Structure 1
Amino acid sequence: MFFDRFMFNLHPADATTPSIILGVGSYPDRNSMDGFVIACLPHEQRNVRFGGELGPDSCGPLSWQALDPAETWHFTLGANPTDVEFDLTWRARTPAWSGDIKVGESTNFEHLFQSGLYDGVVSIDGIANNIQGWYGQRDRSRGVRTMSGGQGLHIWYQAQFPDRSIGFLLVEDRAGERLLLEGAVMHTDGRLDPIVDVRHDLRFDDTLDLRSGTVEVTTKAGISRIEADASGRGALMAGGGYGGQHGTVRGLESDVYPLDGTITPLTADTSLTDRLCEFNQDGTRGRGIFEFALTRSTSYTYRPTLR
């Protein structure tokens, strides 16, 4: 099924909560579109999903304007069952990376991501919070994509530091062989340094949840090692319909995941998780999204590639 989708996230530059993820997808062949908002708070994850017929610039309670598609976007989220609302402006702080993604016969899509900063208002349970300088990544993709097809490890990595964003997409098969690596270090001074290699040593628990790990990123400019603390909970993308619901018009749905270990990447509709992490590169600290998914196949065992 052909799709055209954008996804944005936002979070403080100096904390790992709250974390908000929003997205909208359109499916021209079905004349439909759907969207979601996930809000991760200290003790729970609140989800709202909505859909309807294909239309411009709004889906359910979420509205947007691409004021300058490469530089400035505006979002509003109206009243909805999560009691999270916002009025936000995202502005680019780095150049965008873009490429064509192909994995096997079932995944072939155009892909772009770019780091930015948010200003505006986020309201939680009726309490309005003015925000300024929150980090956030935008992701735009269009084509055909599936999470099936023998994949073992999936990583979409977006580490935000004051002067740069380190972003890549890495996919390995169930034998640990690389299927895909695309990405770049996006600098706030306008430089774009393509990533040519990634090695990893990650620590997952028995629920397939990432707890911590080290990633080594190689570009033409050199090698960087980044430590990640993923000990927070939540950001299970099942709450946004990523367990196979996209493209199906289901009206408005909402639910709450308690962050007490009862819902995990092992038990949710999909193991895909967009964890807000603290990163450390040689003493420089940052925050950002470490998206991960391990297959639930018993034929797969995670294999570190960083020795």
Structure 2
Amino acid sequence: MAEQAEFHDALIGPERTDLPAGFFDRFMFNMHPVEVAPGSPSIILGFGIYPPKDTTDGFLVYADGAEQRNLRFAGELGVTGRTGAGPLRYDVEIPNERWRLTLAANDIGVDGEIVWRSRTPAWWGEVAVDNATSTRTAFDHLFQSGTYTGTLRVDGAEVSLDGWYGQRDRSRGVRTMAGGQGLHIWFQAQFPEFSIGLLLVETRTGERLLLEGAVMHVAGHLDPITGVRHALTFDDGLDLTGGHVEVRTEAGRTYRVRADPAGRGGYMAGAGYGGHHGNSRGADHVESDRYPLDGSVSPRTLDSALTDRLCAFELDGTQGSGIFEFALTRSRSYTYRRTL
């Protein structure tokens, strides 16, 4: 996938009336301290529009050492518009460079005013995959490293976000990947001079179905990723306990990164990833719940195995941090196979 000069960062406007039935336009931000340890907070929020369905939805996930708090909200696009839903409002102040996010008071007690600024160029391209169904997956996909300023309030206690790391993800198109997936990895490892961002999907027999991404350098250049190997460990609940990811790039560089999960949490079932996005729920729908992080909740027990785990990373003695998103199929026909 070739690097593009500029990504159309604003969400699709009402002037587009020729969109296919499954079309979506979404963004997601994660945020966490630069240095992480067990119990460090991890915040993930997102929002999407589905113009053919006249629907919007979004989520907020907050996890620390004790629990994961989940807030999900939805609305009608014609009523709420394209600036947010529920407690979330956003503004693309400078496309591909600065976004402003505002969270109003809500049922999980996490609100604040947040500004994300880019610290690397964005990688983006088109994901195109033939499926077992007749509908072909084809969507634009972007990820980009940034830092935050602002304040978050957790149960009224202020937390400064100044200097925190955050990866953003943008996707737009039709995404209907179905059948045959064994391992999914969305790997976002942030280091002082660069961020390693990739999406890897393998079949249940270990063949590569999809690989995209790049090493995004603070100095302003991208080095596309050409190969990935992994040696990961999972517990009986399909939860990541650690391991290594080795990345090879177009420029001939090899990066072998060790990942150490900073506790539990980041279960994306709490964000509606169990097949709930884009479903109509009326004009102003809000719901919430909480997961204890004592081992009683896991990727095996929830309606989606997808997990965005806050990790400490290490590369040749340099410390980093970021989100390691993973999912193993729960099919009994699948066994994880290390490739490193």
TM-score, reference length from structure 2: 0.88
Aligned residue in 1 for 2:74: 51
Which of residues 7, 21, 27 in structure 1 aligns to 2:50? 27
* 1:4 correspondence with 2:4: no
Count of matched residue positions in the alignment of Structure 1 and Structure 2: 306
- Displacement after TM superposition at 1:231 (Å): 5.0
> Contact 1:193 / 1:221 at 8 angstroms: preserved in 2?
no
Mapping of 1:1-307 within 5 angstroms? 1-16=22-37, 17-54=40-77, 55-105=81-131, 106-146=136-176, 148-219=178-249, 220-230=251-261, 232-250=263-281, 251-306=285-340
CA distance in structure 1 between the partners assigned to 2:44 and 2:145 by the alignment: 14
Percent identity of paired positions between Structure 1 and Structure 2: 61
Measure the CA separation in 2 of the matches of 1:196 and 1:74: 33
Q: Distance in 2 between matches of 1:7 and 1:131?
A: 17
8 Å CA contact 2:140–2:172 kept in 1: the answer is yes
How many Å separate the matches in 1 of 2:175 and 2:69?
A: 26
RMSD: 1.0
Shift of 1:103: 2.6
2:16 matched residue in structure 1: none
> Which AA in structure 2 matches 1:201?
A
| Structure 1 residue 249 displacement after superposition | 3.1
Give how far 1:286 is off.
0.4
Displacement, 1:302?
0.5
In structure 1, C-alpha distance between the alignment counterparts of 2:338 and 2:125, rounded to whole Å: 26
What per-residue deviation string (whole Å, max 9, x for no partner) do you get for residues 12-46 of structure 1?
A: 00124210000001111100000000001120000
Given that residues 174 and 300 in structure 1 are in contact (C-alpha distance below 8 angstroms), is that contact kept between their aligned partners in structure 2?
yes
| Residue 104 of structure 1: how far off its partner (Å) | 2.3
SS for the counterpart of 2:270 is helix
Amino acid at match of 1:291: E
Given that residues 49 and 82 in structure 2 are in contact (C-alpha distance below 8 angstroms), is that contact kept between their aligned partners in structure 1?
A: no
Structure 2 stretches of 5 or more lacking a match? 1-21
C-alpha distance in structure 1 between counterparts of 2:333 and 2:116, whole Å: 42
Where is the strand percentage greater, Structure 1 or Structure 2?
A: 1
Q: Is the 8 A contact 1:212 1:231 kept in 2?
A: no
| TM score, norm. by length of structure 1 | 0.98
C-alpha separation between the residues in 2 aligned to 1:79 and 1:247?
24
Deviations 1:211-234 (A, max 9, x none): 101011001241110000025101
Deviations 1:165-212 (A, max 9, x none): 000000000000000110000000001000000000000111110110
Deviates more, 1:156-165 or 1:50-59: 50-59
Structure-2 change in CA distance of 1:147 and 1:238 (3 Å):
farther
Q: Which moved more, 1:138-147 or 1:155-164?
A: 138-147
Q: Which runs of 4+ in 1 moved over 3 A?
A: none
